[in-house]
Structure 1
Amino acid sequence: MNDGSIYEEAALLLEKHREFFVNCSVIEKKGYGVWPRAREIIEFIKAMNFKRIGLAFCSGFQREAKMLSEIFKEHGIELIGVMCKTGGTDKSVAGIPEECKLKPGHFEAHCNPIAQALVLNKEETEFNIILGLCVGHDSLFMKYSEALCTTLVTKDRVTGHNPVAALYLKDSYMKSKLGL
């Protein structure tokens, strides 16, 4: 696309986020090939001097959320965590058909990514981390989060939460799983 106005607008918007953008590159350079993503996030938070960090996590990642919280605590960073099932409302209340439940006929709390975002907004978090939210739920969380977000873990139940593995194996083991 050669529409110069898009790049002019992007430059103006970038100016509003200059410190954030520069620190992204500073952290990339310092940790390139050395730090795991969790450490990059920690160092970025420190570079930005953020104090209130939100964690939107999937109920299936409670153990990982606890581990992350412990690591962050060692770095003097406090996490404000909100699990996806917050509110404890049955899927049927959200309009999800009974046959789409994992156990039809039983109570099953629906994920509530908008509520997760609203809780963290109310807590006035400065930066939010996504840990394993479902496809689409992550999108809704990001849409309603007032703070900028990053993703630590992308959920993929088939690849051990390593979705790029399916791309690497598209011509072999994952071919049928990708519908090819």
Structure 2
Amino acid sequence: MGRIKALNCAGCGVFSCDQGLREKGPEWCPMHSQEEVYVEAFKEYQKPDIQTLALSAAKTEAAGYCKWTRVEEVMEFSKRAAFRRLGIAFCIGLRNEARTCKRIFEANGFEVFSVVCKTGGRDKGEWGLSDEDKIEKGREFEAACNPVAQALLLNEARTDLNVLVGLCVGHDSLFIKYSEAPVTVLIAKDRVLAHNPVGALYCARSYYENKLIPSDKRR
């Protein structure tokens, strides 16, 4: 069991950390009790590869704040970090978006390697899934998503940065776990909300409240 019993920054109404007033946080703030964590984190930032990522990210944020789209930010971050080989791990349902992404990256001087989620061509039954667990019941062959292979192939390509384009929830987790290169998300899949998952949060107190919050927990 972890040493920290609770972390509740999402419930904080102070955010003194944003003002550099570490002592002003609520009593349960980890800044009061977990100083060793922050010391350890700062040491990590001194490692050359981690420092490159951190500084490149901060410089990209400052330079493109409210000006650059996320696609532009991915490219600008990559340039600042001296990344030239970009991997795209994409869902077959977003193959057109992946193709457009590849074209944009290549037009800006990057070498691009892309891998579709269905690579390997294995049926879901081979993974231990029953017919009931398939999207189309009774279908003779339904290709399984293969995020581990996507990651391993991009590892073999020695990519500098891997970009996720619409991988399923959980499949994205597996990809990130096995990817040797840093990973960023360009598109987070949400089939219902046109791949804009934050829309559900914006509507959590109105249209989607009955879908997301049990009736006895609503305010």
**TM-score normalised by the chain length of structure 2:** 0.80
Q: Which runs of 5+ in 2 are unaligned?
A: 1-29, 215-219
Larger radius of gyration: 2
- Judge which range, 34-43 or 96-105, deviates more: 96-105
Identity of aligned residues (%): 47
Match of 2:151 in 1: 117
* Structure 1 counterpart SS, 2:163: strand
Deviation at 1:105, TM superposition (A): 2.4
Aligned residue among 75, 82, 88 for 1:49: 82
Q: Which runs of 5+ in 1 are unaligned?
A: none
* Structure 2 counterpart SS, 1:73: helix
State the distance in 2 between where 1:104 and 1:94 align: 16
Deviation at 1:19, TM superposition (A): 1.6
**Relative CO higher for 1 or 2, CA cutoff 8 Å, sep ≥ 6?**
1
Which letter does structure 1 place at the counterpart of 2:145? C
State the distance in 1 between where 2:210 and 2:108 align: 43
**TM-score normalised by the chain length of structure 1:** 0.96
Aligned residue among 164, 183, 186 for 1:149: 183
Tell me if 1:7 matches 2:38: yes
Match of 1:138 in 2: 172
* Structure 1 counterpart SS, 2:142: coil
* Structure 2 counterpart SS, 1:160: coil
State the distance in 2 between where 1:179 and 1:87 align: 39
- Judge which range, 42-51 or 151-160, deviates more: 42-51
8 A contact 1:113–1:137 mirrored in 2: yes
Deviation at 1:71, TM superposition (A): 0.9
Match of 2:203 in 1: 169
Aligned residue among 123, 129, 134 for 1:96: 129
* Structure 1 counterpart SS, 2:132: helix
